[in-house]
Amino acid sequence: MGVIPLPHKKTVALIRVAIQAGGFCSRRGLQELQTPELQQLMTDAPRTGKEQPRSRPVKSGAEQPILPGFYPDPTVCRVGEDFYLANSSFEYFPAVPIWHSKDLLNWSQLGHALTRRTQFRDGFPWPSSGIYAPTLRHHDSRFWLVTTNISDFDSGQILVSTSDPAGPWSDPVFIPAARGIDPDLCWDGDTCFLSWRTLDPGAEHGLLQARLDTATGQLIGSPYPIWQGSGLHGPEGPHLYHIGEYWYLLLAEGGTERGHVVTAARAPHPWGPFEPCPRNPIFTHRSLGLSVQNTGHADLVQTPAGEWAAVYLGTRPRGFTPGFHVLGRETFIAGVTWEDGWPQFDEHRYDVPVPCTDFVDDFTAPELHGRWIAPYAEPETIADHVGTSGLVLPPVREGATGLLCTRVRDHEWTAEAVIEDGGLFSVRLDDRHWYGVHLENGTVRAEAQVGDLHQQLGARLVTQGELVLRIESLPPIPHPNTYGHGGPDDILLSVDDSEGRHDLARIDGRYLSTEVATGFTGRMLAIGSGATSARVRSVSYRAGIG
């Protein structure tokens, strides 16, 4: 969490509430608080041991993601006792978060794989563009990650490597002869095989494979088709594994929506010929009335004890039909057993601790925390540190979003930004779907953008000085109709000034869902400027209702 020497009275009040509610995972990062009031808060707070994290609720892995929020397309590998995981990240930079775990259940972020624009070239600034599904593997004492930048499509796949997954990762090796998405790497001895879903214009779409020179990005020989799936829509996300006497191929099929499934085939060689599993699909939630939907895009890993597990993506839709998922596609875990030589998923094997997602960021650290990313831009070009005074965000230049973003990771939450002079605090799904609280020229406005419609919903004149802009996700207001308005939540926009709290607007949350806005991402909190600069003193987030 970092050191938080904030004397601001509203920040103190926020921390008091969080501590009393058990909202902080540990006291590490609060030990060096400078203000006497905050030191006393820590002294008075109940303790659960010698600086140990507080106990967390545990839920079945069938319902609880190991990485809640917009962390889709998981890929995993193990080195010794350690597990490493990566996710796709689309238009946001830096890209491809990298995670570490000792037990597959508790994960800490090491950094990002793509942190330089030479690795993630600028392209068209469209929502759900950028970096698609990666594959993370360890071979010959190095970590290898291959992925696609859909905004730089003609460069083909991107291959980077490192000896330390925390980075830095190498300069990219481009593979222009393999244009498409969802690349996979595997090795048979010293021979590397690249498999991918081709989207090359003018060519037949499907799953291709070729031998790869990892040093140059050149394909050795012509690409050839491999197993094309069980016949469902959109076979993609291939992953190959040498297990026992067979090479197993896992695919995602049915599209990444409600029909998503995992299918499997096996062969004596990486290139085939492949025999499909007689029980395909081997895992799906399609047509089942479960709280988690869209399950698929799985990757297998073996534990040091010899057991098998799989990470996969899923969504948690809420509200009336068709259901609205707002956090994006999240990362889940399942156990894997083997029957008659085929993998079977056991989604109830693991009890998953609910991660602590709370944070308070006062921006006094020398660098931005890794939670802050930016759409179509580099975070360091959007905000300037000003010592112990937070961030200054210059006026947005033409054609830019000028936003710093961090993932929303819970269904009910409260977030606050302490700002002065001006600025925008918003929750967004993309550029055309967001709600926010905007301070400009002495007026705070609640605004909503839904598609081409931009609406001011409420306003308040305020005096100069620091204000707290607040966004909350709340359960929908009950309605005489059995199903109410049918949305997944309400978003409440408010401001605290010298006269207290003022609610400005309460809005149906369905318009910030994938089912309305489309795309592959999830809700993000965003801070930004506008025609004038913004000064942000702190941003806080906590799970649950304020």
Name the residues annotated as catalytic.
Answer: 73, 236
8 Å CB contact between 516 and 30: no
3-state secondary structure of 199: coil
> From the CB of residue 202, how many other CB atoms can be counted at a distance below 10 Å?
4
As given in the structure block, the two tokens for residue 484 are 């109410």
Output the CA angle 200-206-209, nearest 5 degrees: 90
The candidate with the shortest Cα–Cα distance to 89, out of 64, 106, 67, is 67
As given in the structure block, the two tokens for residue 170 are 């190498």
Output the CA angle 156-159-162, nearest 5 degrees: 165
Name the β-bridge partners of 145. 136, 160
The candidate with the shortest Cα–Cα distance to 347, out of 60, 58, 62, is 62
> From the CB of residue 55, how many other CB atoms can be counted at a distance below 10 Å?
10
Q: Is 366 left (phi over 0), alpha (psi -120 to 50) or beta?
A: alpha
Give me the sheet containing 135-139, strands edge to edge.
135-139, 142-148, 157-162, 173-175
- Measured between alpha carbons, how far is 483 from 360 in angstroms, rounded to an integer? 36
Residue 165 dihedral angles phi and psi, to the nearest 5°: -65, -15
Maximum distance among all alpha carbons in the chain? 73
SS3 sequence of 282-312: CEECCCCCCCCEEEEEEEEEECCCCCEEEEE
- Measured between alpha carbons, how far is 152 from 161 in angstroms, rounded to an integer? 19
> Exposure string (b/e) for 59-98, b if CB count within 10 Å is 16 or more?
eebbebbbbbbbbbbbbbbbeeeebbbbbbbbbbbbbbbb
8 Å CB contact between 224 and 207: no
- Measured between alpha carbons, how far is 239 from 184 in angstroms, rounded to an integer? 6
